[in-house]
Homo-oligomer: A and B are copies of this chain.
Amino acid sequence: MLNQRLKLLLQTVRRLIRREAKGNLRNMLRKLHPADIAHLIKYLNLKESKWTFDLIEDSEMAATVLSELEPEIISVLLEDLDNVKISQILQEMPADDAAEMVSDMPEEKAENILRLMQHKESKEVEDLLSYPEDTAGRIMTPHFFALFEDTTAEEAIKKLRDAVDAEMVFYIYVIDRRHHLVGIVSLRKLIITSTGSPIKNIMTTDVISVQTHTDQEEVAMMVAKYNLLAIPVVDEQNKMMGIITVDDVIDIIREEATEDIYKMAGTSEEELLEKSTWKITSIRTPWLFFSLIGEGLSSVILRYYNNTLQGVISIVFFIPLVMALGGNVGNQSQTIVVRGLATGRIEQLDIWNILFRQSKVGLLMGFLAGIIAGLCVTLFYKHPALGLVVGISVFISVNISAIVGTITPFLFNKMHVDPAVAAGPFITNFNDVVGISIYLGIATAMMKYLV
């Protein structure tokens, strides 16, 4: 959402670009918050955004702006810059953001740029890249503020004053001589402590930490659960390697939710980053094929019941109805379980409890939908027997869909397959096949009353 202030800013920026008033725009950019510049750049067209970005003089500012942008825009902004300039910008960036950008580049370019960066910074980035994607090691920042346990409060405050990198210090981590994480001190605690006492006397030893290989989703859950501002990342020997701050966790939580939503619809977030129609289509094809196979099966079933259909053509009229009502309820149950598992609100252990509840809901909804559908068919088509068949079919298929929609995500989860990606296409097509089979099966059985 673009609020009033940003709308005005955008108009001004566009006017300055049209007038090619480089000096004025440069001055204006200098005064803006990097997050606002990033926000504005999203609204400019390709040429405008490049023109604007190139006017940001300070590499640090440019780096912060890029950190706030999506990969697809970053690649556009950087495409005309030479490697030297890019390396200067990357150098100013938090190592985790730089690592993300480097990992998106072609290998050769990435290597060139890393070579051009100063050794300290490029080493940090390479260290992060050595951890697998989506783990704590990959997204942590190696800049944290740790002190040995025998440091006094006074020394600690002095060290804090000298720490250039420490703009984001929330906690002071306490380590032993071999760099094992042993405790934590809050800034406030430090301030209110008398100067001479060593920090090990005021530290909390119950430190909540994650390991470098911990999945980023679990990291996010822990930060959320314990209401932390940052979580320390340690290796297998409990040696402190980095921290992950809450602002990164917010991004993870939002991304993971988006990912799940797209997966349930049979596509992926990559679609937004992708310009090629072919690539987007290829992301979506798995579900396309699933549909083709599933509905191919539906056509075989309908063909099998050829005689029934030809005997009473009005049976055909309600095929979409039976399909849609079952699909509807199955999708609802599936959504409840998939999202519940993702947020941790539902756990694998809850399966019987949830199944019981969803079955009850399926029962009642199937009953309501069956009665209404059956009555409508009876009244509008003056065909009570067909109304009965439709009503019963709706009732049964809604119930089956509710149960399948509930159990499938649990099963996929148990098999360590992401329920969001697997459950979506499977359940949708499965419900269609089941609905049609039940409807035509019952109609065939009751054929003598229908004709």
Contact = CB atoms under 8 A, between A and B. Distances in A.
Interface of A: 1-2, 33, 35, 39, 42-43, 68, 70, 157, 160-161, 166-167, 169-170, 187-188, 190-192, 206, 208, 218, 221, 223-229, 246-247, 249-251, 253-254, 257-258, 260-262, 264-267, 271-272, 277-278, 280-281, 284-285, 287-288, 291-292, 294-296, 298-300, 302-303, 306, 309-310, 313-314, 316-321, 323-325, 328-329, 331-332, 334-336, 339-340, 343-345, 347, 349, 357, 360-361, 363-365, 368-369, 372-373, 376, 428-429, 432, 436
Given A191-B161, A288-B328, A364 B170 contact: no
Given A292-B372, A436-B320, A332 B250 contact: no
Contact of A277 (B33, B170, B192, B357): B357
A206 B33 contact: yes
A321 B344 contact: no
Contacts of A160: 188, 191-192
B281 A302 contact: no
A314 B320 CA distance: 16
Report copies per complex: 2
A295 B223 CA distance: 46
Given A272-B345, A295-B320, A288 B225 contact: no
A68 B223 CA distance: 13
Nearest to A314: B303
A285 to B, nearest CB: 7
A447 to B, nearest CB: 15
A302 B250 CA distance: 50
Given A271-B336, A319-B320, A250 B246 contact: yes
Given A187-B188, A272-B345, A295-B320, 8 more contacts: A266-B332, A272-B336, A281-B361, A285-B368, A288-B368, A295-B323, A295-B324, A302-B317
30 contacts: A1-B221, A33-B208, A39-B225, A160-B188, A160-B192, A166-B188, A169-B188, A170-B170, A223-B250, A246-B246, A253-B254, A266-B332, A271-B336, A284-B329, A284-B361, A288-B365, A291-B321, A292-B325, A292-B373, A292-B376, A298-B317, A299-B320, A300-B317, A303-B314, A306-B313, A309-B316, A310-B310, A316-B319, A324-B432, A328-B428
